[in-house]
Structure 1
Amino acid sequence: MACAWLIRRFIDPDARFIWLASPGDCPSDALGFDFDGARFSHVGHRVSFETLIESFAVQQPGLARLAGVIHYLDVGGYQPSEASGIERVLAGLRESIGDDDQLTMVAGGIFDGLLTAFASEEAQNG
């Protein structure tokens, strides 16, 4: 969900997503992300979200903090204080919304709100 949001928000607002049952189903002309063998996936210690940020040089206030939360939710490590609440909200969305496109849209609102809050805190704290 987070990678799809990042792509639409900062990389390609017209991106179309194909939700795959298996990575082997990825069309040869598609740019895959977040699965083994995808062009944009985990690289070293970075998760796919961070790989996309670095690959496309996305710079936005609050985004590094959001990336820290996404990193934790994906692979663990340092736990940002807000991570458990965000994890519960996203889990609830996954359970209650069966359509992947709708889920991505609704989760996008959560990520927009988090980014705005994190950017505001950065601006206040200098």
Structure 2
Amino acid sequence: MKWITREKVKVDRVACPWLIKKFVDEDAEFVFVPGEKVMAEAKRLDAIPYDVKDVELGHHGKECSFEAILKKYKLTGDPALMLLGRIVNGADTDNTLYHQPEGPGLEAVAEGFRHLGFKDDHEHNAAAWIVYDALYAYCREMVKRGKPHGDFMS
């Protein structure tokens, strides 16, 4: 299946493809286009739009697109993915929903990746997914230790 979003990825538009490829559609193909072209290209390519305004797999209230994917594809039973969703939310939004302490760190790392000079969004995602692999490992460890909201929450 093809999945489409806005170009010049950061946080949610790196986290979502990671989540999709690992847990929803291992054969996923990702397309990145200017924001104003997403819906037209989605229709033309028969692609699923994500992390754009007014789509099912976008922001809803204070929740981010990553969380919409968790819900749509019934991944909410994995507490480590739920914690990762809180962290992604904290990095991608104003962090007022969960006040997730790890969020600002992820936001800083994501911003740093934007300045490493990748040739395109595909190369950026390929490099940055290691961050989400590491965060998911952290989240699994936190759940195992009985800290489903992370190590830094009181």
TM-score scaled by length of structure 2: 0.74
How many pairs are equivalent?
126
1:39–1:23: structure 2 CA closer, same or farther, 3 Å change rule? farther
Aligned-residue offset at 1:16: 0.5
1:32-71 superposed matches below 5 A: 32-58=49-75, 59-71=77-89
Aligned AA (2:114): R
Question: Match of 1:89?
Answer: 109
Q: Which has the higher helix share?
A: 1
Question: 1:19 is paired with a residue of what secondary structure?
Answer: strand
Q: Which whole-Å deviations, capped at 9, do the CAs of 1:59-105 have from their partners, x for residues lacking one?
A: 33411111111112222114322222221111111111242111111
Q: Which whole-Å deviations, capped at 9, do the CAs of 1:10-43 have from their partners, x for residues lacking one?
A: 0001100110113434231111101013341122
Asked whether the 8 Å contact 1:23–1:36 carries over to 2, the reply is no
- C-alpha distance in 1 between matches for 2:79 and 2:90: 19
Unaligned runs of 5+ in 1: none
Unaligned runs of 5+ in 2: 1-13, 148-154
1:4-15 superposed matches below 5 A: 4-15=17-28
Question: 2:42 is paired with a residue of what secondary structure?
Answer: coil
- C-alpha distance in 2 between matches for 1:93 and 1:9: 21
Asked whether the 8 Å contact 1:65–1:118 carries over to 2, the reply is yes
Aligned AA (1:111): Y
Percent identical among aligned pairs is: 27
Question: Match of 1:2?
Answer: 15
- C-alpha distance in 2 between matches for 1:125 and 1:20: 41
- Residues 15-24 or 46-55, more deviating: 15-24
Quick one: higher RCO (CA 8 Å, sep 6+), 1 or 2?
A: 1
Aligned AA (1:95): H
Aligned-residue offset at 1:44: 3.4
Moved >3 Å (runs of 4+) = none
- C-alpha distance in 2 between matches for 1:92 and 1:45: 24
Asked whether the 8 Å contact 1:69–1:83 carries over to 2, the reply is yes
Question: Match of 1:110?
Answer: 131
CA RMSD of aligned residues (A): 1.7
